[in-house]
Amino acid sequence: MKNFILISFLIFGKSFSQNYMITYSKSSNGKTIENQDVLMIFTNANHTLITTNNIISKKTEFPFEQNLVVKNSNEYIQIASLNDKKIIQTKDSISLNKQSFEYLPDTKKILGYVCKKAKTTINSNTIELWYTNDLKLNAAPTILGQNLGLVLEMTRNGNYSIIATKIEKTKSFPKLNLNSSESLDLVTYRDALLKSRFTTIKIFKDQIINFSEDSISNDTILRFANGTIALRKMKFPVIKKGSQIFADITEQSNGDAYDRTGSFFIIPTLTSISFLDGLKKGKAALPIYTNGNGKEYQGVVATQNYTPIVEMIRFFTPFGIKHYNTIQLKDKNWQDNVYYRQDISDLRNLLNNQEVYVGIFIGNYDKGGHKVSANITIHTEEELQSKETKILPLFCTNNVMEMAGQEYGTMFNVDKGLEVKFKLDQTLKNCKLRYIVTGHGGWENGDEFVPKKNSIYLDGKENFSFTPWRQDCGSYRLSNPASGNFSNGLSSSDYSRANWCPGTVTNPIYIDLGNLEVGTHTIQVKIPQGLPEGNSFSSWNVSGVLIGE
């Protein structure tokens, strides 16, 4: 629907009353904010336009927003020009009339005009406004205080201020293309403007991750390991240095009642062999790691010719969310889905202007399985400083090909544990190991439920140790309708676990390795893995990526 607003002086750039242009400066903690886009308002007896210098001079990038106050109707119109140059607007006829202020006796002069003081509280923020009535004009640099007079200064919580620096008479208003804008309700408008401020790359939409011989690939999505892995080839845009990158997943049960290990991952193709070879040809195509315990582990450590997968998000499904919401318990209103979101900005170089395979895995043996959607969003941060880094994937024992026979991470039952050698052809400074770890398996005495120390060795010397453990699992009870309830009053999803909970993300930790010189280095992970109990055994999913400057 198009909204045609007949404001001729705005459309034609002319007015029949005196126009003013007021310029404002923004400061924080008493210091002027550097490189700011100067805030400006154009106002007269009938209208106020809130805009910026860059918009007026056509130097700003899309999207951008301007605000118009129609004084005779007390309406506040927000107008946004989006990335695709589409113009949208929303009209608010209520907010201006609902504003209330405490009027204080204080006065001071700003730009030669006597100003009075008013105060209000918005969303726990205390806002002080200085306004003058000398010009017989109502206007303000935000929606707040439009009917007080001419607001020349606003201060929020005593530390952020907008202060008028110049008042000028002007002959005309800037032109606005209001008659070609689409009128939206406020929530839809805000959503469209927000999404226009960043880039969303949709990876999967309502993708089924299940266990079925009937799972097949199509032109877009590749399915492997009986449907428990979905893979997609994606071309990522140029990502500006300093940008923030986030990955998100939305999950629901499509029939599986259990908590499962999941991974949203990248397959690097930096070497002659990649994890894709294992998916297409079978686990035998992947290089083997052995540590003397008699087992063979496929594709878990980097070699001269092979790069393991890189986990963007390690996540865990809750017990049967959505599908089993029919289970009724008093005072339990189950969630419809679980949402995981994580900052993956440190993996920028693996995505920046690259064509890569992005995959998602949920280990399960259920024909209905799970339904997932996944995205990667890019948020440009022009002013955020960051140094260029080199990324070297080192190991990943999360056996995402579990349902195609890939061995579990049980290599920690001997002293050698997991060991990987890597060679640097240039010195890397301020190196960090991006380390994700979760313990699994066993019952009462299994490593899933018993704290175990993780020790990281660099070139034969212990560099770091900690005990990964989560004690907050009970916080996610409302995402776990099918979680078993025990005689002691606890549910299975309440129990503390080895760095994970049903329905959560496991965050990476960052282990400082210092500066690493040219040559061959060794990283070793040792964990005192528990003994098997009958048919049950313990295992550890660890992944590590070296990041250095």
Task: Report the CATH number that the domain containing residue 107 is assigned in CATH.
Answer: 2.50.20
Radius of gyration for the alpha carbons in the chain, expressed in angstroms and rounded = 29
Domain limits for position 64: 8-185
Residues 464 and 544 in one domain: yes
Cα–Cα dist 545/265, whole Å: 12
Three-state DSSP class for 32? strand
Given 185, 220, 243, the domain boundary residue is 185
Residues 169 and 252 in one domain: no
308 located within any domain: yes
**Taking the C-alpha atoms of 362, 365, 369 and 374 in order, what is their torsion angle to the nearest 10 degrees?**
10
Residues 230 and 94 in one domain: no
Residues 159 and 57 in one domain: yes
Residues 174 and 216 in one domain: no
CA nearest to 493, candidates 324, 370, 368: 324
161 located within any domain: yes
Cα–Cα dist 30/158, whole Å: 9
What per-residue confidence (pLDDT) applies to 386? Answer: 72
Residues 217 and 114 in one domain: no
190 located within any domain: no
Residues 101 and 67 in one domain: yes
Question: Do residues 43 and 139 touch, judged by C-beta distance below 8 A?
Answer: yes
What per-residue confidence (pLDDT) applies to 384? Answer: 61
Paired with 512 in beta bridges are: 432
Residues 178 and 243 in one domain: no
- Structural domain total, the chain: 2
224 located within any domain: yes
Residue type, 445: N
Residues 132 and 242 in one domain: no
481 located within any domain: yes
Task: Please state whether beta strands 113-122 and 125-132 pair in parallel, antiparallel, or not at all (unpaired).
Answer: antiparallel
193 located within any domain: no
191 located within any domain: no
CB-based contacts of 263: which residues, under 8 Å, 6+ apart?
309, 311, 313, 314, 315, 359, 360, 361, 398, 400
Residues 402 and 515 in one domain: yes
What per-residue confidence (pLDDT) applies to 172? Answer: 85
Given 126, 155, 185, the domain boundary residue is 185
The distance of Cα 40 from the centroid of its chain, to the nearest Å, equals: 32
Residues 76 and 116 in one domain: yes
Paired with 312 in beta bridges are: none
Given 159, 185, 211, the domain boundary residue is 185
Task: Report the CATH number that the domain containing residue 481 is assigned in CATH.
Answer: 2.60.120.1570
Cα–Cα dist 17/45, whole Å: 7
Residue type, 501: C
pLDDT tens series, the chain, 549 aa: 333 333 333 443 444 579 999 999 999 999 999 999 999 999 999 999 999 999 998 888 889 999 999 999 999 999 999 987 789 999 999 999 999 999 999 999 999 999 999 999 999 999 999 999 999 999 999 999 999 999 999 999 999 999 999 999 998 888 777 777 899 999 999 999 999 999 999 999 999 999 999 999 999 999 999 999 999 999 999 999 889 999 999 999 999 999 999 999 999 988 999 999 999 999 999 999 999 999 999 999 999 999 999 999 999 999 999 999 999 999 999 999 999 999 999 999 999 999 999 999 999 999 999 999 999 999 997 656 678 899 999 999 999 999 999 999 999 999 999 999 999 999 999 999 999 999 999 777 899 999 999 999 999 999 999 999 999 999 999 999 999 999 999 999 999 999 999 999 999 999 999 999 999 999 999 999 999 988 899 999 999 999 999
Neighbours of 483 (CB within 10 A): 26
192 located within any domain: no
Task: Please state whether beta strands 87-92 and 182-183 pair in parallel, antiparallel, or not at all (unpaired).
Answer: parallel
Question: Do residues 176 and 49 touch, judged by C-beta distance below 8 A?
Answer: yes
DSSP state at residue 9: H
What per-residue confidence (pLDDT) applies to 493? Answer: 97
Give pairs for 91-94: CB < 8 Å, separation 24+. Answer: 91/3, 91/183, 92/186
Give pTM, 2 decimals. Answer: 0.90
What are the b/e assignments for 168-195, b being 16+ CB within 10 Å?
eeeeebeebebeebebbeeeebeebbee
What per-residue confidence (pLDDT) applies to 176? Answer: 76
Residues 140 and 249 in one domain: no
404 φ/ψ angles, rounded to the nearest 5 degrees: -120, 20
Cα–Cα dist 466/435, whole Å: 12
